[in-house]
Amino acid sequence: MTPRVSVLMTIYNSDLYLKEAIDSLINQSFMGWELIAVENGSSDKSIAILNNYQDSRIRVFPFSENIGRTPALRFAFKQAQGEFIAVLDSDDVSRPERISEQISFLDLNPEILLVGSWVEYIDESSNILSTSKPYSDSKKLLDCLGWMNPITHSSVMFRKSAAKEVGGYPEELIYAQDYGLIISLAQSGEIAIIPKFLCKFRILSSSMSNSLEYALTVAIEGKMLLYHALNVLNLSSYSRRQNRRAIAICDIKIGIILIKQKNIVEGIKVLLKGVMSDPSSLFINGKTQKILNKISIS
């Protein structure tokens, strides 16, 4: 039978957590799903773990080398047979009722194109570190897109037809493809949050986010998407002010990273541009040092 839900999972060197992620799908109360598992050129035991499963719902697509996160997601999207698309990263966990809750919600609310949930952040040992509880009100949630992405990627389920109409994951984005897709869907219809903890998102101490190249690309893509959200979404005056501040913070991040990369003159220019465009960007809630610590890469 054709599954109602296709779960997209891109996998790269995730052998420590992959079994827990897949088992959280197998343990779902809703059974009519398929997993599109794109093994993205791992050098660890990920492919061996995938091959141990004898579940016909798990469809494995191995690549001999890493093709990148966005191309892997776009490939997985093309393989999906379900009416709905869900996402689960290979080191995250879905609660047993997740798929059932989200399908029921979308069935009852045809105007909603994408739904996420509240999220628990966990460490390498699955201990809960903190939580994320985005607005469940659709208007407030949309307004948040003006200055941030409030929806965790591993918590989303969206309508395949709607995502196809907007072009799916933006292929020009390397890391912020989820934010880009959410903005596109918010242009076309409503987005929502189920106010329940249906997803666990793992925070890893060892990550590519510790590299300057990664941090620079993320900041540049973030700035681009903030401008895009400002131009295409019906944001409140408050959201527009927050948007200006968020763009200024992106410039400050970019400037600091360029200085660390020894591109000092350009870095100072960009940093000053951010400070001058919104001086308050350095003093959000008076926590200047916290911001600088967060955006500094050692």
Q: What is the CATH number of the domain that holds 17?
A: 3.90.550.10
Same domain assignment for residues 59 and 177: yes
DSSP string, 29-69: S---EEEEEEEES-SSSHHHHHHT---TTEEEEEESS---H
pLDDT score at 229: 98
Coil, strand, or helix at residue 113?
Answer: strand
Same domain assignment for residues 30 and 95: yes
Whole-number Cα distances in Å, 78 to 82, 103, 178, 180, 244: 11, 20, 16, 18, 36
Residue appearing with tokens 């208007």: 139
Q: Is 162 a residue whose pLDDT tops 60?
A: yes
In angstroms, the CA 18 to CA 6 distance is: 18
- For 203-252, the pLDDT digits (tens) are 987 655 568 889 999 999 999 999 999 999 999 999 999 999 999 999 99
Q: What pTM, to 2 d.p., does this model score? A: 0.91
In angstroms, the CA 118 to CA 210 distance is: 26
Coil, strand, or helix at residue 295?
Answer: helix
In angstroms, the CA 237 to CA 84 distance is: 34
Same domain assignment for residues 97 and 20: yes
Coil, strand, or helix at residue 80?
Answer: coil
Looking at residues 164-181, what average pLDDT do you find?
A: 97
Same domain assignment for residues 183 and 246: no
Same domain assignment for residues 155 and 64: yes
Q: Which of 169, 202, 235 is the last residue of a domain?
A: 202
pLDDT score at 211: 82
Q: Is 276 a residue whose pLDDT tops 50?
A: yes
Same domain assignment for residues 169 and 262: no
Residues of the domain holding 288: 208-295
Q: How many residues does the chain have?
A: 298
- For 42-95, the pLDDT digits (tens) are 999 999 999 999 999 999 999 999 999 999 999 999 999 999 999 999 999 999
Q: Is 172 a residue whose pLDDT tops 70?
A: yes
Sign of CA dihedral 50, 51, 53, 59: positive
Predicted confidence band at 7 (pLDDT cuts at 50, 70, 90)? very high
Same domain assignment for residues 269 and 185: no
Same domain assignment for residues 124 and 232: no
Q: Which of 156, 176, 202 is the last residue of a domain?
A: 202
